[in-house]
Structure 1
Amino acid sequence: MKLCILENDYLDPAIEPTYKGYGTMFERLLRDAGATGEFDIFNTFKGEYPESFDAYDAVLLTGSRADSFSQEPWVLVLREKVEQLLQSGKKLVGVCFGHQLIALCLGARVGRAPQGWGAGRMAYQWLEPDMPQAEGRTDVALLASHQDQVFDLPEGARLLATSEFCPVAAFAVDDRVFCVQPHPEFVEAYSAFILDKRRDTLGEAQYLSCTDSLAKGHDGDAVARMMVAFIEGQSAAQTADA
């Protein structure tokens, strides 16, 4: 596997020595899920991109504190790059901001969720139990941190995960696009750090509920295995025989 990770944010200096960056968090996650090969990380906020995407098997877009529909120059440049990647048929994986940006480029509506922040451990219905490495699951729990959402399923996409709070929680387009709103790369300690920063914004009741939810664990490793299978082009039959 040769993966290009477009890192769309930077970490708080207080936590950066521990987690390094979102790109590093994804590399750890995917390697723990069995991925081997080369991972190249480019920070789009700093204007970093590969000279060419041709050599990569897939491109992964991380989360960001920015809005996918922002008019910030760096976001507009990234959006143009994603549109070009979609046109070329390059495999794309999107998480949170990345999920929203890819959906936006596919013509879906994206905006501020009227129901407010999704945070802490959140549960979703998983709609494709036969997807490679899904292992028959019909639900998934992941750590979330978002105030924007994808409002429509992009044309030609199929819905992978949904909940009452977040109807378009994950989607795929053929074997080319795999997007997830919550964060499989988050660990509980990092999610707790983010919750502490947003305590006043969330309000005490939601903050305490979200913090308590972290003790229930999450399925980031399971979703990571699905991502690896998607990037490697595994079929359901291959994973069943493994």
Structure 2
Amino acid sequence: MSQPSGNRYAVLLCAEDSEYVKKKYGGYFGVFVKYLSEEGDSWDVYHVATGELPTEEEIKMYDGFVITGSCNDAHGDDPWICRLMEFLQRLDSLKKKVLGICFGHQVLCRALGGKVGRAKLGWDIGVTNINLSPSSTKLFSSLQIPTVLSVIECHRDEVLEAPPEAEILAWSGQTGIEICKYREHMMGIQGHPEYTKDILLSIIERLLQRNFIVESYADEVRANVEKLEPDREEWKKLCTNFLKGKLW
């Protein structure tokens, strides 16, 4: 029997849980734990948007941090976003492992000196093919993953310029910076590896109700989601190996 790894992680939750996700998955924290947790790991959550962040003493307890998506704009100056960026700069100085997802990817890149804003081509919702760069296929060679991976996307902002010293590892037809690596300890992913298709479909309904998208676009996205499958297991390998320090 394998020995428990004993790794401890914190989810920096930047989103409000929808009723659907709360009922089915125990909130987005439950989604991430179910997706990324391996035997022996332990996970905690900090509700960043309501002011919770780990203290200096608590930072020491964790092997890595995961920043979630959010309905907020990563290019906004809400007080909690500004505090989060300062916190991420602190994690950088401590060389802590940080994985940013969607909003988390954007706010991480912004904290490290990149530029974030509205996506040039507008909303990107559905299952999208991501192209890995030649350098990333070398970095990920131990995982034996394909050079094209499909992932669920749901965003209307993007990283416009990567931080200095960052390396762009993947792009798609709509988004220029899909995966970004900063030194050895930080990585951002624009897509949502953790999402299931039913989560995305519930979000589409919420976006429709709030008039963020129109019915014709929602129909187009639903058809896309019905036809295509995200490579969830491949993304899981990538994310868990990064958090465990096994990628590079």
**1:97-128 CA deviation, whole Å, 9 max, x = no partner?**
11001100111110011311110111110222
Structure 2 letter corresponding to 1:208: D
The 8 Å contact of residues 126 and 154 in structure 2, kept in 1 or not, is answered as yes
Structure 2 gap segments, 5+ residues each = 1-6
The 8 Å contact of residues 11 and 45 in structure 2, kept in 1 or not, is answered as yes
Deviation at 1:188, TM superposition (A): 0.5
Cα distance in 1 for partners of 2:243, 2:42 equals 13
Cα distance in 2 for partners of 1:167, 1:208 equals 25
Cα distance in 2 for partners of 1:17, 1:136 equals 33
Equivalent position SS for 2:161: coil
Equivalent position SS for 2:194: coil
Cα distance in 2 for partners of 1:136, 1:86 equals 28
Cα distance in 2 for partners of 1:136, 1:98 equals 23
> Which residue, 130, 151, 156 being the options, matches 2:165?
156
Cα distance in 2 for partners of 1:113, 1:35 equals 38
- Corresponding residue number in structure 2 for 1:212: 223
- Corresponding residue number in structure 1 for 2:4: none
Cα distance in 1 for partners of 2:124, 2:217 equals 10
Distance 1:234 1:68, change over 3 A: same
Using the aligned pairs only, state the percent identity.
24
Cα distance in 2 for partners of 1:191, 1:115 equals 20
> Which residue, 57, 66, 81 being the options, matches 1:60?
66
Greater relative CO (CA pairs within 8 A, separation 6+): 1
Q: CA RMSD in A?
A: 1.7
Q: TM-score, normalised by structure 2?
A: 0.88
> Which residue, 4, 11, 21 being the options, matches 1:5?
11
Structure 1 gap segments, 5+ residues each = 237-242
> Which residue, 9, 24, 28 being the options, matches 1:22?
28
- Corresponding residue number in structure 1 for 2:137: 129
The 8 Å contact of residues 143 and 186 in structure 1, kept in 2 or not, is answered as yes
Deviation at 1:221, TM superposition (A): 2.4
Structure 2 letter corresponding to 1:88: L
Deviation at 1:43, TM superposition (A): 0.8
- Corresponding residue number in structure 2 for 1:78: 84
- Corresponding residue number in structure 2 for 1:46: 50
The 8 Å contact of residues 18 and 27 in structure 2, kept in 1 or not, is answered as no
The 8 Å contact of residues 3 and 59 in structure 1, kept in 2 or not, is answered as yes
Cα distance in 2 for partners of 1:71, 1:65 equals 14
Structure 1 outlier segments of 4+, above 4 Å: none
Cα distance in 2 for partners of 1:210, 1:62 equals 22
> Which residue, 172, 175, 195 being the options, matches 2:204?
195
Cα distance in 2 for partners of 1:134, 1:159 equals 18
The 8 Å contact of residues 112 and 148 in structure 1, kept in 2 or not, is answered as yes
The 8 Å contact of residues 132 and 226 in structure 1, kept in 2 or not, is answered as no
Q: 2:177 matched to 1:168?
A: yes
**1:174-208 CA deviation, whole Å, 9 max, x = no partner?**
32111100101110101001112223433233212
Equivalent position SS for 2:19: coil
